[in-house]
Amino acid sequence: MKKQSKWLSLSLAAMLLLTACTGGTGTGGGTTEVDALPTIVENEGEPIEGGVLKVGMIGSSPFKGMFCAPLYLGADDAMVMQYTMWGAFMLDADFKIRDGGPVSLAVDVENKTSTLTIDEKYTWNDGTPVTAMDFAYYYYIIADPDYTGVRYDDEMRTVVGIEDYHNGTSETISGLEIKDDKTLVVHLTKVSPSNLWGGAIPFEPVPYHQLKDIPVKDLESSDAVRKNPLSAGPYYITEIVSGEKVMFKANEYFWKGKALIPEVMMELVNPDAVVEAIQMGKYDFVLTSFPADKYNEVVNLNNVTVIGRPTYIYDYTGFKLGKWDTTNGEVVTDLTMKMGDVNLRKAMGYALDMEAINQQLFNGLRPPANSLIPPLFTNFHTDNPNAISYDKEKAIQILDDAGYKDVDNDGFRENPDGSKLQINVATLARGDLGDSLALFYTQSWQDVGLDTVLTTGRPIEYNSFYDKVQNDDADIDVFMAGWSTGSNPEPSALYGKNALFNYIRFTTPELEQILKDINSEQAFDDAFRNDAYKRFEEYMIEHAPIIPNNYRIEVNVINDRVKYFDWSHPDSEKPYSSWAELQLTAAEPYAHEE
């Protein structure tokens, strides 16, 4: 077995992320091994005919198997679809939509329209061309009164006439203009820079000819979503083992040509078993990124190359500050709740030594975060000097000054009014790592005198965790979770008043105005937009309804039988690349040789 790796360093953004977030922590400076990870790997060997690309989906819970763009909720279902069934748009270096993909986007600020133009070659795997109606029908699904998903948000409500359709006063969405089979003009009540990133348009089409006769209330349980969803991407689903495994075949109608590897096998693998699976040569690579805490166990294997890149993911501490009003579809904030005191929230943020966790559990791949805008977005992220970072003495001082005293001498502080304070913390089950993190969080807060206990008494299984968080379970005061901003860092979908994903349930008129400024026509001016993002960061630091804990450097392991693999982020000049262009040089993945 011969291997020749093409080592391309991480982007400058990644290096800035690692240095800016670790400075002054006592861990030392300079280039680390993580900095030098490649984003592209190239191996020797002649490609074979046929073969099955074998992909491990890292997870400790079964995936839900809801394979439809407007309906899915879990990141695991998105992983199944992202590289096999999706791919409507190309992105530039700023992650904005650019030409070069099967669908192009043109935003007309003056006339308040977004126009989608579909390539003639863009086709579903059953041979039916993708049409403007496939994009238009996405709107009809999310605006249907029986739709129970999360994508009928503030941005989508800017489509002219969509509220009338949702409320039942119109049988059509008047703002959708199908000029011809390949052109959809979306008329908007307002435009903003988010439209350049795909705001208020579907990120993928839906097969109208397959779904049109299925009532929206029945879509989630339909075979068209659960068993035989159509794909316009390089692969389509041929078999599903519920929650565990998905098989694909190459889409012969794929717009860039049939994929070079004819089949894909995607299979759930437990985080505790993934190292052994990679060592044995069970997979060509994994999704999503490889567990950071297991990096040292694979970096020296001789059957794989470890690659890495920065992400737009951050982990955070979220405080429950209200409820979701299902009738009006909006957040109702209640600062009389247990976590309503900003001093308590800030103290809890200052009590967490995230750099220690980064080094001890994550091998330097989870640098401390200082903003809700990841550094990958270099035009919007700022290193705010007021950001909350580890300072145990400051946490203690804040609590003392705010009146949180140990009145009954039990070792824990009471509320300023003398009443008992016990804080219920929800964390995710992640095997031994989840147990270690849960202990770290609760112990850190107990060390500053706060009585913190785990909701249910232990870390919570993934699906149950998010069910509890989304439904504002009364036993959750604080929760530890993560967000991926997606390619657009615009924060209203996570922190807007009408955003179901606003799990902290925090909203104020001042925050709403800042979000409106970020999404205003004025924000097409770079200086105005950058200032609005800065004001957002400052406001969230001041009020601390959520505290970013750490960013992520994601790593993957590419088996040596994969001829060429490109994991670099989008670039304005980068040619089209996808799994359709992957090739294999051996019948099975290589195993590690002792």
Q: Give the model confidence (pLDDT) of 325-343 as tens digits.
A: 999 999 999 999 999 999 9
Task: Give 375 or 21, the one with higher predicted confidence.
Answer: 375
Answer whether residue 516 shows pLDDT above 70.
Answer: yes
Which residue in 207, 196, 206 sits closest to 114, CA to CA? 196
Compute CA 307 distance to the chain's CA centroid, rounded to the nearest angstrom: 20
Looking at the DSSP bridge assignments, the partners of residue 478 are 319, 425
What is the mean pLDDT of the segment spanning 143-168?
94
CA distances from 79 to 336, 404, 490 (A): 39, 45, 22
- pLDDT of 577 reads 81
Per-residue pLDDT, 33:
54
Nearest Cα residue to 568 out of 2, 100, 4, 6: 6
The pLDDT assigned to 291 comes to: 85
344: pLDDT strictly greater than 50: yes
- Model pLDDT, residue 376: 87
Q: Order of strands, edge to edge, in the sheet holding 113-118?
A: 103-108, 113-118, 183-187, 176-180
Q: Measured at the alpha carbon of residue 206, what is the angle toward residues 203 and 210, in degrees to the nearest 5?
A: 175
Q: Do residues 102 and 131 lie in contact, with contact meaning Cβ atoms separated by under 8 Å?
A: no
More confident residue, 427 or 31: 427
- From CA 211, how far away is CA 387, in angstroms rounded? 48
Give the pLDDT confidence score for residue 580 in this predicted structure: 96
**How open is the CA angle 64-66-472, to the nearest 5 degrees?**
60
User: Is the pLDDT confidence value at 3 over 60?
Assistant: no
Gap between the Cα atoms of 186 and 132, Å rounded: 11
Q: Which pLDDT score is estimated for 35?
A: 61
Confidence class of residue 538 from pLDDT cuts 50, 70 and 90? Answer: very high
Residue 44 pLDDT > 50, yes or no? yes
Straight-line distance from the first to the last Cα atom of the chain, in angstroms, rounded to the nearest whole number: 13
Quick one: average pLDDT of 443-461? Answer: 97
The sign of the CA dihedral 247, 249, 253, 255 is positive
Q: Which residues contact 241 (CB under 8 A, 6 or more apart)?
A: none
User: pLDDT above 90 covers what percent of the chain?
Assistant: 79
User: What is residue 575's predicted lDDT score, i.e. its pLDDT?
Assistant: 80
How many CB atoms neighbour CB 547 within 10 A? 24
Please, are residues 420 and 414 in contact by the beta-carbon 8 Å criterion? yes
Mean pLDDT of 78-95: 93
Residue 17 has pLDDT above 60, yes or no: no
Q: Answer whether residue 491 shows pLDDT above 70.
A: yes
Helix (H) or strand (E) run with residue 265 in it: strand 263-269
Question: What average pLDDT score do residues 317-321 get?
Answer: 98
Mean pLDDT along residues 11-25: 27
Q: Is 328 helix (H, G, I), strand (E, B) or coil?
A: coil
18, 35 contact by CB (below 8 A): yes
Q: Residue 473: pLDDT above 50? A: yes
pLDDT at 20: 28
Given strand 422-426, what is the order of strands in its sheet? 451-454, 422-426, 478-484, 304-319, 546-559
Tokens 């580890």 found at: 390
How far is the C-alpha of 257 from the C-alpha of 121, rounded, in Å?
Answer: 9
Structure-token pair, residue 16 = 């800035």
Read off the pLDDT band of 280 (50, 70, 90).
Answer: very high
pLDDT higher than 90, residue 292: no
Q: How many CB atoms lie within 10 A of CB 490?
A: 25
CA 222 to chain CA centroid, nearest Å: 26
3-state helix, strand, coil in the chain (%, to 5): 30, 20, 50
What's residue 74's pLDDT?
82
Radius of gyration (C-alpha) of the chain in whole angstroms = 24
pLDDT given for residue 459 in this prediction:
97
Average pLDDT over residues 17-25: 28
Average pLDDT of the chain, as a whole number: 91
Q: Are 278 and 256 in contact (CB under 8 A)?
A: no
Count of Cβ atoms closer than 10 Å to residue 49 Cβ = 9
pLDDT value for 493: 85
> Rounded CA gap, 129 and 143, in Å?
24
pLDDT band at 454 (very low <50, low <70, confident <90, very high): very high
- The CA–CA distances, whole Å, from 399 to 199, 217, 307, 348, 486 equal 42, 49, 43, 9, 36
Tell me which amino acid residue 222 is: S
478-484 and 304-319 strand pairing:
antiparallel
Instruction: Please tell me the predicted confidence (pLDDT) of residue 34.
Output: 58
pLDDT confidence of residue 2 = 36
- Over residues 262-286, the mean pLDDT reads 96
pLDDT at 27: 28
User: What is the average per-residue pLDDT within 442-469?
Assistant: 96
Q: 64: which 2 tokens?
A: 């839900």
Q: How far apart are CA 191 and CA 198, in angstroms?
A: 11
Question: DSSP string of 347-359?
Answer: HHHHT--HHHHHH
Mean pLDDT of 471-485: 95
What's the pLDDT score for residue 200?
A: 95
In this prediction, residues 361-389 reach a mean pLDDT of 91
Rounded-to-integer distance, Cα 465 and Cα 60, Å: 13
Cα–Cα distance, 426 to 438 (Å, whole number): 9
**140-150 pLDDT, tens per residue?**
999 999 999 98
Query: Are 279 and 303 spatial neighbours (Cβ–Cβ below 8 Å)?
Result: yes
- Containing 518, the helix (H) or strand (E) segment is helix 509-518
